[in-house]
Amino acid sequence: MSSRPTLIVGVAASAPAVMTIWQGMRDFFADGPVAIDWVLYSNYPRLTGALLDGAVDVAWQLNLAWVQTVRRSGGRARALSMRDTDIGFTTVLVAKPGSDINGPADLASRRVALGPPESAQTSILPLHFLDGAGFDIVRAHASDTDPHGEAAAVDAVLRGDADAAAVGRRHWEQLAASVDISPAASSVEVAWTSPGYSHCVFAALDRLPAETGAAFAAHLRTMDYDNPQHRPLMDLEWVNRWVDPDLDGYASLHAAVEKQDIPLDW
């Protein structure tokens, strides 16, 4: 029998491809220094609770879940690795061409469609970065296929129910790439881009042996986008390479959570 440790990784059911991704990740770790198995949770609060309770060894967390874990654990959280695309992540405001919205100064008395209150990228951080801009909030509700409310927010702009919409960089890139097939892609443009911040991260607590966490992160870094066996999985996970965490990139979210009094169990 193998003496390799097996890590239980918790993941949230955040996209239809999650099962395909994590079956592939388990196969990728089959010949690594640690093995993994994975458990699917319906949402990030349950995943965070599982990490804190010891039901999982590692959690693949959104940025808000990471900040909540740091605070609820009394600083015992340890970041293991993140995608290159998680560093310098941004939110953009999109508006119709000719809207005369060119930045925060033009938002006074305008209507901005934000995602659900618990979304860092479409609500918490835009409110933090645009503090004092004086706009009215139009809430775009989340759904199973639109968890940050980004598509709904853009639809609000197209219907005329909002003047601008907050969307994460990945959603905007996908929208911009669909210019030939989606009317929305050619009907809105970027009016403002937020400062950069860190997005998702593999998190553990300090009970995980440091050498085991390091072995997990080191094996992730051997995933190579130029390897045709790795590329399909990396495309699904929106990663070009796995990198060390940028913890400084969470400073703005820590500040926003404190200022906005965001619950730690969302």
- List pLDDT tens digits, range 202-248: 999 999 999 999 999 999 999 999 999 999 999 999 999 999 999 99
Taking the whole predicted model, whether its pTM rises above 0.85 is answered as yes
What's the CATH class of domain 91-193?
alpha beta
Domain ranges for the chain:
6-86+198-259, 91-193
Name, in order, each residue with C-beta under 8 angstroms of 229's C-beta and a sequence gap of 6 or more: none
Q: What is the pLDDT of residues 88-143, one digit of tens each?
A: 999 999 999 999 999 999 999 999 999 999 999 999 999 999 999 999 999 999 99
Give the model's pLDDT for residue 178: 80
The two structure tokens encoding residue 179: 């210019």
Longest dimension (CA), the chain: 67
Please, are residues 92 and 206 in contact by the beta-carbon 8 Å criterion? no
Distances (CA, A) of 17 to 95, 127, 193: 30, 30, 28
Measure the N-to-C terminal CA separation of the chain; round to a whole number of Å. 41
- Locate tokens 């997990």: which residue? 216
The two beta strands, 201-205 and 77-83, are: antiparallel
Give the whole-number percent of the chain exceeding pLDDT 90: 90
* pLDDT at residue 264, as a whole number: 92
Q: Is the pLDDT of residue 1 over 50?
A: no
Domain covering 6-86+198-259, topology: D-Maltodextrin-Binding Protein; domain 2 (3.40.190)
Average pLDDT of the chain is 95
Q: Provide the CA 51 distance to its chain's centre, in angstroms.
A: 18
